[in-house]
Amino acid sequence: MEMKLQMRLSQQLIMTPQLQQAIKLLQLSRTELEELIDQSLIENPVLEEGIDIDTDPSPEEEKYQGDVPNTEEPEPFASAKEVEKEEPAEDMDWQQYAEFSGTAHDSRKSFGDDEFPSLEATLAQSQSLSDHLLWQLDMLNLGLIEHELGVNIIGNIGDDGYLTVSIRELLETNKELHQEIEAWVQKNPVNVSDFNPSALDHKYQITSAFEKKSAKQASPPDFEEDSQTEESSVPPLEISAEAACFIEVLLHTIQQFDPPGVGARSLQECLLVQLELLNMKDALCSHIVQQDMSLLECKDLKKIARRHKESLEDVIDAYKLIMSLEPKPGRAFGAPASHNYIIPDAYIYRSNTGDFKVTLNGSGVPRLRISGYYKNLAEHMEEDGNLTKEYIQEKIKAGQWLMKSIEQRQKTIFRVTQSILQFQKEFFEKGINFLKPLVLKDVAEDISVHESTVSRITTNKYVHTPQGIFELKYFFTSGIDQGSGETISSKRIKDMIEQLIQNEEARSPYTDLQIAKILFEKNQIRVARRTVAKYREALKILPSNKRKQLF
DSSP for 286-308, please give it: HHHHHH-HHHHHHT-HHHHHHHH
The bridge status of strand 462-465 relative to strand 468-471 is antiparallel
Q: Give yes or no for residue 497 having a pLDDT over 60.
A: yes
Q: How confident is the model at residue 378 (pLDDT cuts 50, 70, 90)?
A: confident
The values of phi and psi at residue 464, to 5°, are -90, 120
Nearest Cα to 258, choosing from 147, 136, 139?
A: 136
- List of long-range contacts for 496-502, beta carbons under 8 Å, 24+ apart: 496/523, 496/525, 497/532, 497/535, 497/536, 497/539, 497/541, 498/539, 498/541, 501/536, 501/541, 501/547
* Spatial distance between the Cα atoms of 113 and 547, rounded to a whole number of angstroms: 53
The values of phi and psi at residue 333, to 5°, are -90, -20
Q: Mind listing the pLDDT tens digit for each residue in 506-546?
A: 889 999 999 999 999 998 899 999 999 999 999 999 999 88
Q: How confident is the model at residue 118 (pLDDT cuts 50, 70, 90)?
A: low
| Mean confidence (pLDDT) of the chain | 81
Please list the residues that pair with 487 across neighbouring strands.
481
Delimiting residues of CATH 1.10.10.60 domain(s) in the chain: 480-547
Contact 439, 10 (CB under 8 A): no
* Spatial distance between the Cα atoms of 225 and 96, rounded to a whole number of angstroms: 53
Tell which wins on pLDDT, 55 or 484.
484
- Overall size of the chain counted in residues: 551
DSSP 11-79: ------HHHHHHHHHHH--HHHHHHHHHHHHHH-TTEEE----S----TTTT----PPPP-SSPPP---
Q: Where are the beta strands (DSSP E) in 448-531?
A: 462-465, 468-471, 479-481, 487-489
Of 94-103, 194-203, 270-279, 290-299, where does the model show the most confidence? 270-279
* Ramachandran region, residue 468 (left: φ > 0; alpha: ψ -120 to 50; beta: rest): left
In this prediction, residue 110 carries a pLDDT of 36
Amino acid at 41: L
Q: How confident is the model at residue 207 (pLDDT cuts 50, 70, 90)?
A: low
Q: How far apart are the first and last CA of the chain?
A: 81
* Spatial distance between the Cα atoms of 361 and 463, rounded to a whole number of angstroms: 9
Q: What share of the chain has pLDDT > 90, as a percent?
A: 51
Q: Give yes or no for residue 37 having a pLDDT over 70.
A: yes
* Spatial distance between the Cα atoms of 161 and 154, rounded to a whole number of angstroms: 10
Q: Rg (Cα) of the chain, in Å, rounded? A: 32
In this prediction, residue 220 carries a pLDDT of 47
Contact 66, 362 (CB under 8 A): yes
> How far out from the chain centre does Cα 471 lie?
12
* Spatial distance between the Cα atoms of 498 and 72, rounded to a whole number of angstroms: 49
Peptide bond before residue 366 is cis, with ω within 30 degrees of 0: no
State in words which class domain 480-547 has.
Answer: mainly alpha
Q: Mind listing the pLDDT tens digit for each residue in 128-153?
A: 899 999 999 999 999 999 999 999 99
Q: Per 3-state DSSP, what percentage of the chain is helix, strand, and coil (rounded to 5)?
A: 50, 5, 40
Nearest Cα to 260, choosing from 249, 247, 270, 248?
A: 270
Q: Is 501 exposed, middle or buried (CB count within 10 Å of its CB: 0-12, 13-18, 19+)?
A: middle
Q: Give yes or no for residue 481 having a pLDDT over 50.
A: yes
Number of Cβ within 10 Å of residue 177's Cβ equals: 16
Supply the DSSP symbol for 387. Answer: H
CA distances from 227 to 62, 219, 234, 266 (A): 56, 11, 11, 24
Q: Where are the beta strands (DSSP E) in 257-405?
A: 346-350, 356-360, 368-370
* Spatial distance between the Cα atoms of 87 and 403, rounded to a whole number of angstroms: 17
Amino acid at 45: P
Average pLDDT value for residue range 461-483 = 90
Q: Give yes or no for residue 336 having a pLDDT over 90.
A: no
Q: Give yes or no for residue 81 having a pLDDT over 70.
A: no
Q: How confident is the model at residue 501 (pLDDT cuts 50, 70, 90)?
A: very high
